[in-house]
């Protein structure tokens, strides 16, 4: 569903498992930090709202969105987390740099998600302009960080259910 048709912060709380006892790593890009900071705060607040304890959430920063792959991979390797959320924001400019960063980060995070022992959640905004980014980081389209946190909780629950069966 296109984001324009769905508020990123809307979710059915009844369908979200409790995050109690779950541990989360959040790696956040410093680039476009007014956006990524709001996304990270949204993720943190949603994890807490759904039962995670503050001490079970670790948030670290990397310089840019390309570095999210390295940061997420290192968080996974620590084996301290049940899920890792990667948060970044790339805004299109006048050069093809946007395409390279978005493609590299997306492919890297997808590969890591496929290979990692824990889910790696994709929280990279790829926007044409700052207005789009603002609308998705707490503006009228909600906060992608909220959506990432809910996804992380559901994926940890999914993984745990597989182990039990």
Residues recognised as catalytic: 97
Distance (Å) of CA 82 to CA 13, 52, 77, 141, 149: 20, 12, 11, 28, 12
Cα 142 from Cα 131, distance rounded (Å): 13
Cα 87 from Cα 3, distance rounded (Å): 17
Q: What are the phi and psi torsion angles at 24 (to 5°)? A: -125, 140
Residues 6 or more apart whose CB falls under 8 angstroms from that of 80 comprise 23, 25, 58
Neighbours of 58 (CB within 10 A): 15
């Amino acid at each position: 569903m296109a984001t324009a048709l769905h508020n990123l912060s809307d979710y059915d709380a009844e369908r979200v498992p409790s995050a109690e006892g779950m541990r989360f790593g959040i790696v956040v890009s410093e680039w476009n930090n007014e956006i990524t900071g709001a996304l990270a705060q949204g993720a943190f607040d949603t994890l807490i709202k759904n039962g995670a304890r503050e001490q079970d959430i670790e948030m670290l920063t990397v310089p840019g969105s390309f570095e999210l792959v390295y940061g997420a991979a290192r968080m996974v390797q620590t084996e301290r987390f049940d899920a890792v959320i990667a948060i970044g924001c790339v805004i299109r400019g006048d050069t093809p740099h946007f395409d390279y960063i978005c493609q590299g980060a997306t492919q890297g995070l997808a590969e890591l998600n496929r290979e990692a022992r824990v889910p790696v959640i994709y929280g990279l905004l790829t926007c044409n302009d700052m207005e789009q980014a603002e609308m998705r980081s707490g503006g009228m389209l909600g906060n992608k960080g909220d959506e990432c946190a809910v996804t992380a909780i559901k994926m940890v629950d999914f993984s745990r259910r597989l182990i039990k069966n």
